[in-house]
Each structure stands twice: as structure tokens, then as C-alpha cells.
Structure 1
Amino acid sequence: MSVILEESPPIKTSYLAKLKLPQVTLRSTIVGLVIGSIILISNFQFGLQTGWVSMMSLPAALLGFAVFKLTPLSKNFTDVENVYIQSIAVAVGTGPLCYGFIGIIPAIEKFLNPEETGLGHKIIFSTKELIIWSLGLGLFGVFFAIPLRKQVIIKEKLPFPSGSATATLISVLHGTEIFEDEEPEKLKSQEEEDSLNKTPVLERTTSSSQLLESINYQQNMKSLSLTFIISSIYTITSYFFPILKNLPIFGTWASKNYEWNIQPSPAYIGQGIIMGLPTVSYMLFGAILGWAILAPLSQKMNWAPGPIDDWITGGQGWILWISLSIMVSDSLVSFIVLSVKSIYDFFIDYKMRKASYTQVLELQQAQRERLQQQGIDEEDSEETIIIDPNTAVEVPPNFLVSNKVAIIGTIGSTILCVITLRIIFGKLIPIYASITAILLAMLFSVLATRTLGVSDINPVSGIGKLSQLIFAFIIPQNHPSKILINLISGGVAEAGAQQAGDLMQDLKTGHLIGASPKAQFIAQIIGTLYSVFLSSIMYKIYMKVYTIPNETFRIPTAIIWIDCSRLVTGDGLPPKALEFAIIFGIIFGFISLIKNILPSTSKYYKYLVYLPNGVAVGIGIYNTPNFTIARFIGGVIAYNWHRFSNRGKIGMIIFSSGLVLGEGLFSGFTMLLTSLGVKHF
């Protein structure tokens, strides 16, 4: 009898062939770092303005393809190499959020009072200290995410919508297939498996059932170039004519007294296209609620009598607490519900797999008993017994990052994080606080990754706030640096969740295309180390060239961080802000509960789109209306895209990418003009 004990069913031959294709190449590494640098500059620009930072995996994949398409190297450029490029670019581009350069660091430098530091003076980081800080935060999330891949991508097959969308784009660009998450056919003999594994290079195929949309390359490259040029021209023109950043279309009275303007920024319109109409509609609702109702009310009732745009005494500072309450309430409720669901699904999945394995063993034993009753020797039987047919597909070990590397890397990066925090802050940050923050970050990374896999939302903001709340109970109230420690703990938790989520989205893309997980891990490490230095340098450049905060760079995320720290550590709120914060927190917590527990099979599920998302509403409240209105215009364009364009969703992504990247990249040029003292008109 021949018995095959298949703990991991064989992978499709074409998948194996793809894994062996060159991926970690010098050319793709350089291109990935360059594209990542563009995305990083873009994320700094928009992050310091509105707090919005994006992975930009779709534009990264598109730009990587475009670079090679325009050169003689295009014949040898594969889809798996394109995956490697976008993995590096994402690791580089998300540095501003991961290392806290749009939130934690400016909160410490710009808003932390001397007595709150524990030193008696303000903290200003040097470039060297920023690099050390970033290095400490940059790696533990990457290593800790390695073991999660098999559970959430291979076994549970979580969708990771953005990662799947990027895979679709890459497959369309290259005319190759997507490997769906399906069990492969069982191989009937070891000889058949061996012969199939010898099949040479995979052939590229185009199948209408596998490719979601066709693409007209020349048309879309023309669209990308045109929108990039338009966005670039606007960026330079608006530098010389600042009025273009705040057009008073609602009248000078509304503009002067309540900040109701519009910034016709192509980049923010592009962001709105990417976000979609529902999200930007929630943001517009938040802008109306905050800047047309609550802020004027607080001023009229003398709760915030200062100028409407004042963070301390004005309406903007007052409605910030309502925004914070709404976002935290929504994030925590959805985080808790999805975490409970994920844990429940995990145990159900485990029980089903265990039961399936047990059933196969029972069948195997019954078969042996039957053979014995028939007087047939097992060795003479031609029957094949395959054990555990439900085990998920996995790639060969030589294309994976080993658990040994994951364990050593996690321990080493944890020690590195503790040491770097000690180097920068000395004894102000107790070692137990650093270790606790990292352990919480690892726990939250698991839950955040699963939430991201299901909902396409990485709840890093809520995770940071939850960590701040927990540390309010851990650190004694009489500790001189309690607010500083609170900020750092939130930053560590946010960094871990951000890194784990980004890597898992990329791994989903690679899994569908057939890329090597080890190559993507290498991409993440290279991109992270590069981003550590570039992010630190860019932050110092921004702080040197511009006086921040200012009218353009309001760093709202930093204000949210510092206010949340002061709130959980016992500071008071402006008059009536607590009452309004509680009311709106309860309302949006209840809305979040409904949106997360109502099953998709319910007849009322389709109406959930009309219930506002708390995070989007909160962003609309704390950002001035000019940014939100531009994004809303983009959302309307996205909604009507198919009515005036026949290029489908891929064409829309390309169109919006040009708008975002043009302004993001040329913001570096306007920064140069500012540093040279070139005057506005």
C-alpha cells in the first residue's frame, strides 16, 4: 500500500515557477526606494496639513511598472518583481506615520510644556536622536508580523481588500493571472508531483475570468502624466498666489469668522477619489457639524470666546474634544467587536480543522480494519490515504522567513527599542514602561492586522488612544513625565500596528501574484532602514524651512495626541466640552456597534452606508473645511466616474494617483522656494 501523508498539499506548478523568478534585484531596489521617497515626501506634506497618510501601494505598483515600461528592461520585468518594488516603496512611504513624525514627535516638540517633560525645559530632538528613535520603532512590528502570515493569509484567507486590489492592478498591467485562494488538486502520486515540479518557466496567460478589467496602457499613462502636470502646476502657482489655497466661495464673512473656504487642491481631490463618496460624505458631515454648528455655538455661548481657529481659547480647540471623543468611541467599539469576532473565528477555524483531521484519521483506521477483515495486506493495497486534506496551501520553506528568524528578530528589535528609548530619554522613561508598551503593541498588532484584513481599515489611531488610556493607569499620577510617557507608549503601539498591517497587505498582494514572502520581507527591511534616515531628515527640513504650526501646516494629529494625553492623565476640559464629548461619544459608539454587528445577510445591511463612520466624521471636525470640501469633490467624481469615463476602476486609480503624486512631489520644490525666501504675490 502507498500512503502519502500530505500535511501541506502541493502548490500549483506555475506558482512554484514564479517563486523562483528573480525578485530581489538591484534595479528594483533602486526604483522602489525612489518611488518610496516620492510617496514619503507626499505623506509628509499631507500628514502635517491634515493628518492623512496613505500606503499608496496602488500608485507605487503603477509607477514601478511605468518606469520599466519606458525602458528597454521591460521585457525582463515580471509581476513578482513589481510586487517587490511596491513593497519597498510602501515601507519607505509610510515612515512619517510609523515613526510619529506627523503626530508624536511634533506633539512633544511643539505642545509639551517644560513642566510636562520632567526636565524643566522643552524637548527638541536632533537629527541623530530622531534616527535613533525611528530605528527603535521601525523593526519589531516587521519581525512580529512574520508568524501572523500563515494564520491570516494562508489559513483564514482574510481578504485584505487593498492588498487584493494591488494584486489585481499588477496582474492587469502584466497580463498575468491571480492565484485565487483555492485548494489545489490532490496529486495522486509522488512521481506525478516530482514531474510537475520539473516544469520550466511559467507562461504568462491572460484570462477574462481572472483579470477583472482590461487596461489601455497608453491611454492611462497619458492620463497619469496629464493629471501629474496639472497637480504640479497648481502646487507652484498656489505658492505664488496663496489665495488659491483658501478661496472664500461662501463669502468673506464665513471665511473670516468660521474658516469656510475651499482649497481646490488636485491632490485632495485625488484623495477624495481614492476614499470614495461615502467616506468623504461622512467627513463633510463632520465639517458641517463642527464648523457650522458646534464651533459657532461654543463661541456664542462663551465656552470658547477666542478666534474660531484658536486651538486654546477658540472654537477649533473646543470642537477638537468632540472630534477626539467620536473617533476614540468609534475606533474602540469597532476594534473590540472585530477583535472578539476574530478570536471567535480563530477558535471555530481551529476546531473545524482539528475535527477534520480527526475524521480523516478515523477513516484511515476504518480502512485499515476493513483491509484486515478482507485478508489484504496493507503493503499490497493500491489505495492511497491522504491525511488532512483541509490543510492550507503554503509555499516551500526556502521561500519563507523561518520562525527562528522571527523569534530572534522580535527579541532583538524589542531590546533595540528599549535601548533607543533609554538613550534618548534616559531615566525619564522607566524600562518597565518601555517593555509594557512593546508588549501591548504586539498584542494590538495581532488584533489590528485581523481588523485590517476584514475591513481594510487599520485602526492605528484607536490603538494609540487605547494604549494612552491603559498607560494612564500604569504610570503613577505623580510621575513628573507622565504625559511624555503617555505619548511615547501610544507611539510605540501605533508603530507596531502600522508596520504589521502594511506588511500583511503586501504579503496578501504577493500571495495572490505568486511572489516570494522572503523577498517581500527583505523589501520591508530595506525600505524601513532607508525610511528611518529619510524620514528623520525630511522632518528636520520641514521644521527648519517652515514655522510649524502655521496656517498651512496645522499638525492636527499632534494636537489630538497631546490633548488625549492630558485628558487621560487628569487635565480638565474647556467649559461644556465634557458633556458634549460624552453625548457624541455615546451616539457614535452606538452607531459603530450597529455597523459592526449587523450581519451582511440582514435586509437592513444595505442601509448602513447612511450611518456615518465616526473616524471620518472626527477627521471632518478637526480639519478646517477647505480640505474636506476638496475631498468631497473627489468623492463625487468617483461616484460618477463610470458616467463620463469608460476606463473603469483601474483608470480611476491612475487618474487620482497623478493628482496626489504631482502635488506631493512638487511640495519639495515649493519648500526650496520657501527656504530661498522667494516671496509670494
Structure 2
Amino acid sequence: MERERDGFNHDDEDDYKKSDGGHQRVMVEEAFKDTAVPPWTKQITIRAMVTSFILSIVFIFIVMKLNLTTGVIPSLNVAAGLLGFAILRSYTALIQKCGFLKQPFTRQENTVIQTCVVASSGIAFSSGTASYMLGMSPIVAGQAEGANTPNNVKQLSLGWMIGFLFAVSFLGLFSIVPLRKMMILRYKLTYPSGTATAYLINSFHTPKGAKLAKKQVAVLFKTFCFSFVFAFFQWFFVAADGCGFSSFPTFGLQAYDKRFYFDFSSTYVGVGIICPYMVNISLLIGAILSWGVMWPLIEQKKGDWYSAETSESSLHGIQGYRVFIAIAMMLGDGLFHVVYMLIKTGTSLAMHKSEKKQSSQEIGQKYSNTEIVNYDEQRRTQSFLKDQIPNWVAFLGYVILAAISITVVPFIFHQLKWYHVLVAYAIAPVLAFCNAYGCGLTDWSLASNYGKVAIIIFSSWVGLDNGGVIAGLASCGVMMSIVSTASDLMQDFKTGYLTLASPRSMFFSQVFGTAMGCIMSPLIFWFFYKAYSVGDPEGSYPAPYGLMYRGISLLGVEGIDSLPKNCVKLSIIFFCAAIATNILTELLRRYETKYGLCRFIPSPMCMAIPFYLGAYFAIDMCLGSLILYLWRRKNKQKANDFAPAVASGLICGDSLWGVPSAILALSGVKAPICMKFLSSSVNDKVDAFLAG
């Protein structure tokens, strides 16, 4: 699933962004006119890089845990900017008291830290360690029970994972650099997440904003401590599988068997606070529709629709319905958004093309003369045009990196030939542009959808006998990495534009963050992989997207004949339903504005996730939404100010307990207690057995 956007409606931001076509009218830069902007070489400091490295490890742990549990990942930009500000402000204040401060902490340095952290944690998402890479492994291949030949299975190892990420993750940066002025200055794309992040960083570096940030950090630290201690407390009761608070039958044992229960996860309560209300409600609707209605009805057809001897984890049994109906909904949702975004991009470009064309030089002249709409835009544009990244550097970098990748990727995956990778790199810049442009309009990255399309195309092209499953999954990594990093970089350019951070400092901090992500993401994944049974649908880290991505690749090489009875019909129905739901949403958004009914249409992509996993995490997230709703009813301003800090603390504390927990598991240390819940009849049998 795509990373979720920031779900908050900051009231103060409305004052900041009185927009007219995306331009801020309030003179924000007036507050900083007496503050010198450091050159780009001083915006990237050693202290900023050290802080970025520390925070990157923390955030990669968080993203990896979320990836390996449900795959729902909220926007962590706010937390990255806030923690970066807190750490360096504390450090510089201490050094200043000692009289050794040589360079003050600036908003440009804060932007560099946020960019690095988000870039590295973004690699943890797009690296596919919990999706397409895991889908290659024997663990997931054994669950799929199809195409398990040596040519279609690949053992995971740190060496090739890190090498592959280095080979494919940097091309997206070079593919989009030449378009930065067109996207930011000519088309004035909003990039809502980048704009909101810039707003926060700008506010942190004013006296009022710094005071609020200090309070937010204090709240974050308190909730972090609570979440960490609560996770530590829960560990004492999980001596074996099925034990502990995470197996508490909140709504009864029958509901628990259908995966309806609250599992006391602070992480997903925090994620629920951050994600928009409709995301969480969509998850719950999907869980009720699937585990509450559909799966019980299909299970009654056991022996007719599928063999009674088939194991529950087999794709030829009930698991096939769970996985492929979910895949159909995701593909329907993804296909709609890809086509819709292409149409929207083409329409928008046609509108711009019909206007008077301007060269880059004319743009610079326009923004330096009397046509400047305000002081903010003048200062930002001058800063943005100051440190240019030559286009020839971007073109040359892309060609050189593509040549290296075309050589290296077939060496890692012999199923992919050099011409397959060449075709991918010929198409990728166009898709990267479309994704970056669409992200600027809607704040929604479709990187994973482009990756799924690549799986089907290349797996079909290579074929089953030639290792089409691995080829499709590897091509997903090639496409996803380019498309995802391109949109992330353009978001950062927008943030840098609004904070006067140099495009060069943004580019190099993104490169540094990407390099950190290429190394740390596989290492942290390996930590989980060795400590837990990653990929086990009944385990703590089911990694649902591993099986789903392999299922998409199997569709590409095997077709639909291998699926259980009526699975294809149901999948087609849900595929069409996903497209119809999105069309209805867009029609209501466009033509019905009185009641805002489009807000109440559930998201098919979100509904699809519980089809495989169940409702437990959706209940956690809905509790987070309920907390935020009640808090806003009581004090909306306070909720908007501190809810991101509370959510970040809950996520960080619970996620970071995974480190000592994994160390204990690797050391063979078990919890002392098993807290388990039994029905009265089973309990009587246990008592009778013990008495006998």
C-alpha cells in the first residue's frame, strides 16, 4: 500500500497558506529577512548528517516493522522534522552555552535532516524487502504452491539485496532533476506534503514555533516512554505462540477466530491517529465484508469449490480467495489511479502548453522583475535559481548509472536479460515524470502500482520456464525504485524552495539518505528475518505483501487457470467494483460539493488489506481515529498541535521495543509467562487432563 499522507488539517496552516493557485500571500520570509541564508556547502553539515543517520535507523525500524505486519505506513515527515529540530536545537544550545558555537542552527539545515531521514526511510518502503524481495524467498514460495522450481525461487542474502538496491535506487534522482524548474516554478505544483513540511520547519525556527515545538517534543517523549514500557510489559506474557495481550479475545472467542479483536498495539493506535478517518474506516469495512461475511460463506463450499484436503495456507484453497480477491481490488484501484493520473497529467500539460511558452531564462527574468506577486516568491525563486544542477550532469548521471545497472541486475537475477532492464529504463523516466507530476497535484505516489504493472508485463514476457516469477518481481524493484525516488526528490525540492534550502543541498542530502537506506534497510530487515518467522501468516510478522506480490507474478506466468473454483469470477467482480468505486468518488468530488459525499466513499486499496490479514489492526487504527475525534471535539487546536507528537511517540516506542525483543529472541531468552485464553469446554478438558 502507498504511504499515507498526513491526515491533519492544521488550522494555523490556513493562515500561512491563503492560496491563490498555490501561492502564499502572507509574507513568511519577512520573519527571516535579517537571517542570512548559508551557502549550500554549509547547509549540509557533519552534525546534520550524524543526526540524520541516527534518526534514519529509528525510522527504518519503524517502517520495517509496519511493512512486516500490515503494510500500512503513515506519513512520518512531521516526526522527522520535529525530531531533527529537537536534537540539533538541543545540541546547538548546549554548545552555545559553552561558547563554542561556530554556525547557528538554521531551517535549511533542518530541511536537510528531514530530507535525509525521509529518503532513507523511503528506501525501506520501496526496497521491497517486505514485498517483492520476500516474494522470491522459499518461505513465501512454499505458501504459493506454484512455480516453485529453482528458477522461480531465490534465497535471500544481504550481499545481493544491498547490491541490487545500490544498482537501481539512484536513477530516479537523476531522471527528474532536469524538470525541477518546470515543476516548481512554471507549473507551480503544490506538493501538499512538501508544502506542509516546509510550513512546519519554517514555524519551528520562529520564537512562537520553537516554543510549541519544545512542548511537542515533551509530549512525544512521554508517549514514547509509555509505549516502550507497555510493550516491555506485554513481553512477559508471550512465552509461546498465541499467548499475551496480542491474543486477547476482546469480542469473544468466535470473533477472535475470525480475527476480530483488539491486540493492544500502540503502533497501530498511533498510525490510526495519523491516518485520515476514511482510511481507518475503509480497513474496518473491508474486514467486516471479508472475514465477517465472505470467508464464512466460502468456507461452507469446502469440498465443492475447493478440495477439503487443501491446507488453509494453500492458494488452491480458502487462501486463494483471500489473496487473489485482494490483489484484484488493488489492481483495480491501481489501474484506475494510473489511468486517471495520466489523463490528468496530459490535460494539465496541454493547458500549460496552450499558454505562452517561456524559456528557463525568461522564467528567471520574470521572477526577478515587476511581475513578482510578493516578497516571499521573489526571495524563494532567487534562492531556487541560485545553485543550479546542470542538466548535462543529470543526463550523464542517468546514462552511466543505467549502464551499470543494466550490467549488474542480470548478474544478480539471471532470469532478467540486459534488454529487459534496458526497456525498463527507457520507459521509467516517463513514468517517473507522471508520478512526480501527479504527486504534485494530489500528494499521492503510485510507485507500487507501476511496480505491479511491471510484474505482470515482465513475468509474462520472460515466461514460467525461464524464471518469469523472479523476473517479474525483480522488474518491480527496478520500476518502483525509480518512480518512488523521483517523486520523493521533487517533494523535497518543493520543501527546499519554501525554506530557501539550496537545490544542491536537497539533491545531495537525498543521495546521502538514499545511500543510507540502501545499506540500513536490508540490514534491519535481516535483523527481523533472523529473529522471527517473517512471512508466516500465523506469526508476529506475516508480511502480507510478500505473498500478494508473488501472487501477481504467478498470474503473469501461469494465467488464471490454476485458481480455485469461482475465484476468477469473484476477482473480476471486485476488480470492477474497485474501479467503479473510484469513478463514483471522482464524480462526487467534481460535481457534488454541497454535502461532500466523496469523503464517505471507502478506499478499495485500504479495504483490500484486511481481506488477507483480518480486522485486528483495523480495530487498533479505528481506536486511534476515535481518540483523535474526541480530542478534537474537546479542544481542536490542542489536538491539531499535539496529536502528531502523541502518534509519533506511540509508534516510535512500540516499534523500537522490537530491537531488544529481537535480541532476546536471537539469544534464546523466552518470556516467563504464557497468558492464554480458552473456552470453558476446552478449559474443562485441560483441568481433567491435569487431574488425571
Q: Hey, what's the Cα distance between the residues in 1 that align with 2:163 and 2:566?
A: 42
Paired position in structure 2 for 1:432: 419
Paired position in structure 1 for 2:20: none
Q: Hey, what's the Cα distance between the residues in 2 that align with 1:663 and 1:260?
A: 21
For the pair 1:445 / 2:466, whether they are aligned, the reply is no
Q: Hey, what's the Cα distance between the residues in 1 that align with 2:499 and 2:527?
A: 38
Paired position in structure 1 for 2:548: 560
2:68·2:541 contact (CA, 8 Å) conserved in 1?
yes
**Residue 405 and residue 12 in structure 1: after superposition, are their counterparts in 2 closer, same or farther (change >3 A)?**
farther
Paired position in structure 1 for 2:295: 295
CA-CA distance at 1:121 after TM superposition: 7.9
Q: Hey, what's the Cα distance between the residues in 2 that align with 1:614 and 1:534?
A: 32
**Residue 463 and residue 142 in structure 1: after superposition, are their counterparts in 2 closer, same or farther (change >3 A)?**
same
Q: Hey, what's the Cα distance between the residues in 2 that align with 1:429 and 1:678?
A: 43
CA-CA distance at 1:119 after TM superposition: 4.2
Q: Hey, what's the Cα distance between the residues in 1 that align with 2:272 and 2:37?
A: 36
Aligned partner (choices 601, 608, 620) of residue 630 of structure 1: 620
**Residue 595 and residue 434 in structure 1: after superposition, are their counterparts in 2 closer, same or farther (change >3 A)?**
same
Paired position in structure 2 for 1:269: 269
Paired position in structure 2 for 1:675: 666
Q: What runs of 5+ residues in structure 1 fail to find an aligned partner?
A: 1-10, 177-205, 207-212, 361-384
Q: Kindly provide the CA deviation profile for residues 471-513 of structure 1, in whole angstroms up to 9, marking residues without a partner as x.
A: 25533x4642111111111221111121112222222211111
Aligned partner (choices 622, 633, 643) of residue 652 of structure 1: 643
Paired position in structure 1 for 2:4: none
2:272·2:623 contact (CA, 8 Å) conserved in 1?
yes
Number of residue pairs the alignment of both structures matches = 608
* Aligned residue identity for 1:530: M
CA-CA distance at 1:33 after TM superposition: 1.1
Q: What runs of 5+ residues in structure 2 fail to find an aligned partner?
A: 1-27, 97-103, 239-243, 674-692
* Aligned residue identity for 1:111: V
Paired position in structure 2 for 1:66: 86
Tell which deviates more after alignment, 466-475 or 321-330: 466-475
For the pair 1:581 / 2:577, whether they are aligned, the reply is no
Q: Hey, what's the Cα distance between the residues in 1 that align with 2:29 and 2:398?
A: 32
1:169·1:650 contact (CA, 8 Å) conserved in 2?
no
Alignment of 1:174-323 (within 5 A): 174-175=205-206, 216-242=212-238, 243-256=244-257, 258-302=258-302, 303=305, 310=313, 312=315, 315-323=318-326
Q: Hey, what's the Cα distance between the residues in 2 that align with 1:41 and 1:429?
A: 31
Q: Hey, what's the Cα distance between the residues in 2 that align with 1:350 and 1:467?
A: 30
1:154·1:394 contact (CA, 8 Å) conserved in 2?
no
CA-CA distance at 1:118 after TM superposition: 6.5
**Residue 115 and residue 657 in structure 1: after superposition, are their counterparts in 2 closer, same or farther (change >3 A)?**
closer
2:473·2:549 contact (CA, 8 Å) conserved in 1?
yes
Paired position in structure 2 for 1:82: 110
* Aligned residue identity for 2:545: T
* Aligned residue identity for 2:294: L
Aligned partner (choices 108, 124, 134) of residue 106 of structure 1: 134
Alignment of 1:351-500 (within 5 A): 351-354=354-357, 393=381, 395=383, 397-426=385-414, 428-475=415-462, 477=463, 479-500=465-486
Give the structure-2-normalised TM-score: 0.82
Q: Kindly provide the CA deviation profile for residues 540-595 of structure 1, in whole angstroms up to 9, marking residues without a partner as x.
A: 22222222223111110111100011112234212211111111111120121232
**Residue 670 and residue 307 in structure 1: after superposition, are their counterparts in 2 closer, same or farther (change >3 A)?**
farther
* Aligned residue identity for 1:70: S
2:333·2:579 contact (CA, 8 Å) conserved in 1?
yes
Q: Kindly provide the CA deviation profile for residues 430-453 of structure 1, in whole angstroms up to 9, marking residues without a partner as x.
A: 111111223333222221222222
Paired position in structure 2 for 1:163: 194
Q: Hey, what's the Cα distance between the residues in 2 that align with 1:54 and 1:93?
A: 12
Q: Hey, what's the Cα distance between the residues in 2 that align with 1:138 and 1:247?
A: 42
For the pair 1:344 / 2:344, whether they are aligned, the reply is no
**Residue 540 and residue 144 in structure 1: after superposition, are their counterparts in 2 closer, same or farther (change >3 A)?**
same
Q: Hey, what's the Cα distance between the residues in 2 that align with 1:313 and 1:268?
A: 31
Paired position in structure 1 for 2:39: 20
2:51·2:88 contact (CA, 8 Å) conserved in 1?
no
- SS of 1:520's equivalent? helix
CA-CA distance at 1:657 after TM superposition: 0.8
- SS of 1:163's equivalent? helix
Paired position in structure 2 for 1:504: 490
2:78·2:197 contact (CA, 8 Å) conserved in 1?
yes
CA-CA distance at 1:309 after TM superposition: 6.2
1:334·1:593 contact (CA, 8 Å) conserved in 2?
no
Q: Hey, what's the Cα distance between the residues in 2 that align with 1:575 and 1:67?
A: 57
CA-CA distance at 1:24 after TM superposition: 0.5
1:306·1:313 contact (CA, 8 Å) conserved in 2?
no
Q: Hey, what's the Cα distance between the residues in 2 that align with 1:39 and 1:175?
A: 26
Structure (1 or 2) with the larger CA radius of gyration: 1
Alignment of 1:110-189 (within 5 A): 110-112=139-141, 116=147, 119=150, 122-175=153-206
* Aligned residue identity for 2:400: G
Q: Hey, what's the Cα distance between the residues in 2 that align with 1:307 and 1:117?
A: 17
Q: Hey, what's the Cα distance between the residues in 2 that align with 1:49 and 1:266?
A: 13
Q: Kindly provide the CA deviation profile for residues 210-254 of structure 1, in whole angstroms up to 9, marking residues without a partner as x.
A: xxx896344322211111011111222232223212321111122
**Residue 394 and residue 469 in structure 1: after superposition, are their counterparts in 2 closer, same or farther (change >3 A)?**
farther
Q: Hey, what's the Cα distance between the residues in 1 that align with 2:607 and 2:288?
A: 10
Paired position in structure 2 for 1:662: 653
Q: Hey, what's the Cα distance between the residues in 1 that align with 2:310 and 2:66?
A: 25
CA-CA distance at 1:396 after TM superposition: 5.7
**Residue 598 and residue 441 in structure 1: after superposition, are their counterparts in 2 closer, same or farther (change >3 A)?**
farther
Q: Kindly provide the CA deviation profile for residues 16-63 of structure 1, in whole angstroms up to 9, marking residues without a partner as x.
A: 953637310000011011101100011111111112345522111111
**Residue 153 and residue 246 in structure 1: after superposition, are their counterparts in 2 closer, same or farther (change >3 A)?**
farther
**Residue 522 and residue 94 in structure 1: after superposition, are their counterparts in 2 closer, same or farther (change >3 A)?**
same
For the pair 1:97 / 2:116, whether they are aligned, the reply is no
Q: Kindly provide the CA deviation profile for residues 119-165 of structure 1, in whole angstroms up to 9, marking residues without a partner as x.
A: 45842133221111111121111111212322222222222222122
- SS of 1:647's equivalent? helix
1:299·1:314 contact (CA, 8 Å) conserved in 2?
no
State the superposition RMSD in angstroms.
3.0
Q: Hey, what's the Cα distance between the residues in 2 that align with 1:88 and 1:55?
A: 15
**Residue 355 and residue 631 in structure 1: after superposition, are their counterparts in 2 closer, same or farther (change >3 A)?**
same
1:330·1:592 contact (CA, 8 Å) conserved in 2?
yes
**Residue 397 and residue 610 in structure 1: after superposition, are their counterparts in 2 closer, same or farther (change >3 A)?**
closer
Alignment of 1:47-58 (within 5 A): 47-54=67-74, 56-58=76-78
CA-CA distance at 1:388 after TM superposition: 8.9
Q: Hey, what's the Cα distance between the residues in 2 that align with 1:246 and 1:459?
A: 35
Q: Hey, what's the Cα distance between the residues in 2 that align with 1:453 and 1:246?
A: 42
For the pair 1:334 / 2:334, whether they are aligned, the reply is no
CA-CA distance at 1:72 after TM superposition: 3.8
- SS of 2:129's equivalent? coil
Paired position in structure 2 for 1:196: none
Give the structure-1-normalised TM-score: 0.83
Identity over aligned pairs, percent: 24
1:247·1:261 contact (CA, 8 Å) conserved in 2?
yes
